Structure 1
Amino acid sequence: MTSIVPARGRAEPVGLTAAVVVCTSSRRRVALVCDCIDALLAGDRKPDELIVVVDNNRSLASELAGLLPCDVRLLETRRQGLSGARNLGLAACRADVVAFVDDDATVDVRWLSTTLAAFADPHILAVGGPVVPRWGGERRWMCDALLWVVGCTYSGHRQDAGPIRNPIGCNMAFRRRELVALGSFATSFGKRGNALQTCDETELGLRLERAHGAGRIRYVPEARVHHFVPPTRVSWRHLIRRSLAEGIAKGRLQRIYSLPAVGPERSYARLLVTATLPRLLLDGVRRGDRQSALGAGAILASLLVTAAGFAAGLARERRRDAPQ
């Protein structure tokens, strides 16, 4: 791990201090990373520490070193993996609160101030907010119920302020000391290169609840970020890959943390089967709405593939638990 760009010293602000960590791994996202940093620096509450972690890509680190402002700290990992990159950023900061934003996302002007305001309640240990899609092409059949496939807040997710099991990884913040005490992000979950491993933030939320009790993670609707969705993610291939990865990860979590671990997923699946799917099918038949019909097909395909992945993930953890 190498610090390429030193952080510029800042005066100690009043109230909670905040660090923001942005992890990146592909040179294709250089422009998006710069947009992300620009938005963070344009907010009404600038981060006290701003850290970009390059995930095992030396050429990308060299390119960003010449593009990022001098008060952005740039770090590199030598082992590929999103969870490890997040952990490196966490270890490098000293602020009271550490927030994580995806490299292809931009924050609203009031995002950080709104996020920090939620931590005025000492009971709150983590905060998440809405992730709104910013479409890079046509949305086509991607209905609101499937927006989780592209890393965004979906219909069925909580919409008002209140407790949640875990935030979406693109938009989350934690009290730093408590996150470190928990053991940081589990590297056995989370994205690694092109492999769509998922749910490191879900696992962390479950671990936090086990250690501190329920109701310690709060959803703040005003803490909004906008997530870029390239055309390649609005594809059947991505839908199947992402659904399979999600199912495998949730199957593993079910085995590790027992039934309540995937309670929200069960409620979401019931909502799809009893309400969303029939409505889209009716729209497709009665109105001849092709996109609704395709959306219904996408939901059905996602449910089936996720269920298969869930069974595979559950079986994998059972084999690990079996005596040798």
Structure 2
Amino acid sequence: MTGPLVSVVVCAYTEDRWEDILAAVASVRGQSRPALETLLVIDHNPALLERLGARYKGTAGVRVLANAGPRGLSAGRNTGIAAARGEVIAFLDDDAVAERDWLLRLAAHYADPRVMAVGGRTEPVWASGRRPVWFPEEFDWVVGCTYRGQPRGIARVRNVLGGNASFRRSAFDAVGGFATGIGRDGDRRPLGCEETELCIRLARALPDAVLLLDDRAVIHHRVPAPREHFAYFRTRVYAEGLSKALVSRSVGAAKGLESERRYATRVLPAAVARGLRDAALTRPGGAARAGAVVAGVLTAAGGYVVGSVRARRGGTTFPAQPVGTGRP
């Protein structure tokens, strides 16, 4: 096997996803380009840690670890980074399944020494069997998936999306790990953007760094039934506004909202127009999709305002989180 050795980190926190976790690990072990190792990092759940430890005891290439930091996805990923031995570290959601050539597609780009991160395409697998008619594709990021408006093919991007991403180890050596004040934290509000903040720090520290999206590196992400409802949509969009405020506080609004400006001024108006056109042609869900886009914009903006006020009052910043090295 040529090219860099790749460690894959899967962070898990609940036994409710037991079958999903097993499927995620199986998809990594079935890659056409084998991973050096799969690291399962368990977020402050001793029962799940014990159960998975027993399940994979003696399984070559799979290690089960406890999150060594505070509760949350960022600290879990940092634990995986510290333990990983690979030259490249890839991240896969615990409720996603990677296609057979996922690692092959990601790893190929690291032949270019300027490449510091590569992400892929994440397709939704709806619990109901199909997309809700009201749910706009432009908001698929709400359920952790690639959304309409992202670049297609192979393209340079500001940031990769954390559930289907990889980084060169030297990227973490340069800027530290994921900020633990941003992102998911167990059962609390579904925040995000920790990978956005990391990628912006990375680009600042290494101005020649190349961050890529390759939409041939595909994973399939399960969307549970509760996330198909508007109540979750509204909650997640509001949390995204809060998260963007934290990122802007950390790295500045110019970089923190650079991609979002194009999204808000080009992608979303086109989505509203498309929904209204579909409504005029009596196609199912057209008016609802247009309404969801407008509601999403207003809700995210509200979250951003509230988050900005809180950040200013608290003087909150999120410096690079140091991570150790798993290399011998």
TM over 0.5: yes
Report the 3-state secondary structure (helix = DSSP H, G, I; strand = E; otherwise coil) of the residue aligned with 1:225.
Answer: strand
Residue of structure 1 equivalent to 2:271: 276
Give the % identical residues.
35
For structure 1, which runs of at least 5 residues remain unmatched after alignment? 1-12
Structure 1 residue corresponding to 2:229, chosen from 235, 250, 270: 235
Matches within 5 A, 1:131-150: 131-137=122-128, 138-140=130-132, 141-150=134-143
Answer yes or no: is the 8 Å Cα contact 1:127–1:220 preserved in 2: yes
**Normalization by structure 1: what TM-score?**
0.91
Instruction: Write out per-residue CA displacement over residues 195-226 of structure 1, whole angstroms, 9 at most, x where no aligned residue.
Output: 21211001001100110126521111211111
Task: For 1:187 and 1:41, locate their aligned partners in 2 and report how far apart those are by CA, in whole Å.
Answer: 29
* 1:294 corresponds to 2:294: no
Report the 3-state secondary structure (helix = DSSP H, G, I; strand = E; otherwise coil) of the residue aligned with 1:210.
Answer: helix
Q: Please, what is the CA RMSD of the aligned residues?
A: 1.6
* Superposed structure 1 runs of 4+ greater than 6 Å apart: none
Structure 1 residue corresponding to 2:83, chosen from 78, 81, 92: 92
Structure 2 residue corresponding to 1:187, chosen from 171, 180, 183: 180
The one-letter code of the counterpart of 2:23 is D
Instruction: Write out per-residue CA displacement over residues 69-118 of structure 1, whole angstroms, 9 at most, x where no aligned residue.
Output: 61210001263110000000110012100000000111111111111100
Residue of structure 1 equivalent to 2:320: none
**Normalization by structure 2: what TM-score?**
0.90
Structure 1 residue corresponding to 2:153, chosen from 136, 144, 160: 160
Residue of structure 2 equivalent to 1:65: 53
* 1:77 corresponds to 2:83: no
Answer yes or no: is the 8 Å Cα contact 1:118–1:220 preserved in 2: no
The one-letter code of the counterpart of 1:198 is G
* 1:109 corresponds to 2:97: no
* 1:309 corresponds to 2:303: yes
Residue of structure 1 equivalent to 2:23: 35
Q: CA deviation at 1:19?
A: 0.2
Answer yes or no: is the 8 Å Cα contact 2:200–2:255 preserved in 1: no
For structure 2, which runs of at least 5 residues remain unmatched after alignment? 317-328
Residue of structure 2 equivalent to 1:248: 242
Instruction: Write out per-residue CA displacement over residues 150-209 of structure 1, whole angstroms, 9 at most, x where no aligned residue.
Output: 000001111121211111111110111321331111101110012212110010011001
Q: Kindly tell me: are residues 199 and 273 of structure 1, through their superposed partners in 2, closer, same or farther at Cα, counting changes over 3 Å? A: closer
Report the 3-state secondary structure (helix = DSSP H, G, I; strand = E; otherwise coil) of the residue aligned with 1:56.
Answer: coil
Higher relative contact order (CA 8 A, sep 6+): 2
Aligned pairs, number: 309
Q: CA deviation at 1:289?
A: 3.2
Q: CA deviation at 1:68?
A: 3.0
Residue of structure 2 equivalent to 1:262: 257
The one-letter code of the counterpart of 1:217 is L
More moved, 169-178 vs 69-78: 69-78
Q: CA deviation at 1:291?
A: 1.5
Task: For 1:245 and 1:276, locate their aligned partners in 2 and report how far apart those are by CA, in whole Å.
Answer: 21
